[in-house]
Structure 1
Amino acid sequence: VSTEVKYEIGRSYVFDVTSRTILKIGDERDTDVTQNAQAHISVHSPCEFSLKLTRTSLRGMQVENDWSAILERSSLRFAFDDGKVIAICPNNTDPIWAINIKRSILSTFQIIHEGIREIDISGDCPIIIEKQKINEILNLKTTKQLNSCYRKHDIAGIRAIPYRLESVS
């Protein structure tokens, strides 16, 4: 576990998460989507954590009525070591889009110690990390330069990246 953020085994931590994406399509049309959730991070062992979402909402895009229920129904277990998400173990009932949303939320909890790049759902991207510690509170602001990511895939103007998940038999 990261030396900068000390997570205690058996505890859960709750974070408010807001993600805003503005997609410019041509000169005439913009899409502005805001996603909100409460992210509950539970610590099961020094390297085993889980993410559970509650209070999910979406503005600026039409989705199925059960969108929130699908996102909130199962936890995403993940391995976390020295500030990095090193593996995920998704629930087999979660659709790919729900896993991808959870992965993108997990990427915001990573604390990168070396280099100035981060590999996540957006690809391999240059980042700028600003750290500020006040007493026992560590504030991290990560700015990702999405236009400079590589290993990304553009499909009709929407950025996506394929995933390769290996199963252990």
Structure 2
Amino acid sequence: MEGATSNRASLGFRAIAEIEVLSKCEMALRLRDVKVYRSDPSTDPMENADETGEFKRNLERSPLRFSFQDGVVEELCPAEGETTWALNIKRGLLTAVQNSMDSLDRDQSVFEYRVPSEIQSLPFMKSTHECEQELDKNGLLKSALIRETHTFRPFSRATSGATTKVLQKLNYKTRISGVTTRQDDCSSSFSSAEETSLLHTTSTPGE
């Protein structure tokens, strides 16, 4: 409860995100080396929050195929059995790689209106979303920094209230040749599977 108490809880995770190019406009996101941490007033510094390994298994189990058109993620094709929360985390990562700038030769501020989740569209939520990207001279994404705030309006007043803050950092590491996504994990068309978008949801497509 920001502004009302100094007590706060934190949850964070680190992972290596690999984006594989499957075809001209189709790619796949795969996560590995996932680690989850948490902290609260009784546990400082942050400690392991994935004792059973369930979080790691769910995020690393399947690649997430997606359609990438002119710098924008158009469609997602999650694997069968992908959990809603795991898919939402991958959606958040893909948000950081989007770029709709009409020119990469100069700095630009691009404003895109979108509703990142079903929850944020409700009248009792107030949310902000900012993304900063660094590109090299060839247009390759070097880093991305995303800041989000989500405030529950009924419990908020001025600078205090029930607020969740999200900080996401993405840093480019290296480029390698070849892909690890099996041919039977993907197809030439998205029409054969449940398609979805970057809109965060509270239920998996088909549920």
TM-score when scaled to structure 2?
Answer: 0.53
Runs of 5+ unmatched residues, structure 1: 1-22, 149-155
Distance apart, 1:121 and its partner CA: 3.7
Quick check: 1:107 aligned with 2:57? Answer: no
Q: Displacement of 1:68 after TM fit?
A: 0.4
Deviations 1:37-89 (A, max 9, x none): 11111101111000010000011163443210111010000001111111100
Structure possessing the higher radius of gyration over alpha carbons: 2
> Which aligned pairs between 1:26-41 and structure 2 lie closer than 5 A?
26-41=4-19
1:116 aligns with 2:94: no
Q: 1:128 to 1:136 in 2, by over 3 A?
A: closer
Tell me the percent identity: 25
Map of 1:124-135 to 2, 5 A cutoff? 125=128, 127=130, 129-133=132-136
Q: Structure 2 stretches of 5 or more lacking a match? A: 40-48, 103-109, 121-126, 152-161, 166-198
> TM-score if structure 1 supplies the norm length?
0.63
Preserved CA contact (<8 Å) 2:150 2:164 = no
Matches within 5 A, 1:8-157: 24=2, 26-60=4-38, 62-63=49-50, 64-113=52-101, 115-117=110-112, 119=114, 121=116, 125=128, 127=130, 129-133=132-136, 138-144=141-147, 146=149
Q: Which structure is higher in RCO with an 8 Å CA cutoff and minimum separation 6?
A: 2
- Equivalent residues, number: 138
**Equivalent residue for 2:193?**
none
Which structure features the higher share of strand residues? 1
